[in-house]
Amino acid sequence: EDQVTQSPEALRLQEGESSSLNCSYTVSGLRGLFWYRQDPGKGPEFLFTLYSAGEEKEKERLKATLTKKESFLHITAPKPEDSATYLCAVQASGGADGLTFGKGTHLIIQP
Amino acid sequence: DARVTQTPRHKVTEMGQEVTMRCQPILGHNTVFWYRQTMMQGLELLAYFRNRAPLDDSGMPKDRFSAEMPDATLATLKIQPSEPRDSAVYFCASGLVIPRGASYNEQFFGPGTRLTVL
């Protein structure tokens, strides 16, 4: 069974204080690892897809990296508008297209 | 600005009543997913369709839930009869999914339907 574990569950940072969110996964074969951002009362918003170990992708203050067992979402010099819940999900290579999600990391950036 | 739309956004109903949720996927997407989000379980896949054909509904309670795609622009999720434990946010997502492919498998989510069953 595919499993995704995110840590920490919650993280409070000062504006400008860089940090990383962790996503550990167990999957029979990885087709893709996805990062989403979710704001309160809204649907998840797509951020990145990573396909193979060693791959990195960047978008503004966010950078996602991937190893064979985990992914990190690095946040550099965050701003209050980066506050949200960040969700990690995996898609297995066995043929099914649905995503298995972690519980998310609730990130708060204080001014 | 292409996006997934869902109706209604909020629904409050009483136990035993029928609930129907609707989703309009992004034009051109071939795959539609239904997910449910609760505080305890997080986001869970209920069912999904490709080219309007159901591919997997193993995440759905079969006795009360049903999902259909009457046409390429409409997906429905129905609960009959509803129970308090069905209270959750139901999300529809769509994507241009390449089966077993290694690229372009992003799924784009709608705003969700928040269901409360009393």
* Three-class secondary structure assignment of chain B: CCCCEEECCEEEECCCCCEEEEEECCCCCCEEEEEEEECCCEEEEEEEEECCEEEECCCCCCCCEEEEEEECCEEEEEECCCCHHHCEEEEEEEECCCCCCCCCCCCEECCCEEEEEC
Cβ of residue A9 closer than 8 Å to a chain B Cβ: no
Taking contacts as CB-CB distances below 8 angstroms, the residues of chain B near A97 are: 31, 33, 48, 50, 55-56, 97, 99, 105
Per-residue pLDDT of A44-98, as tens digits, reads: 999 999 999 999 999 999 999 999 999 999 999 999 999 999 999 999 887 678 8
Cβ of residue B99 closer than 8 Å to a chain A Cβ: yes
Answer whether residue B102 shows pLDDT above 80.
Answer: no
Q: Pick the residue of B32, B43, B97 with the most A CBs within 10 A to test the interface with A by mutation.
A: B43
Answer whether residue B41 shows pLDDT above 60.
Answer: yes
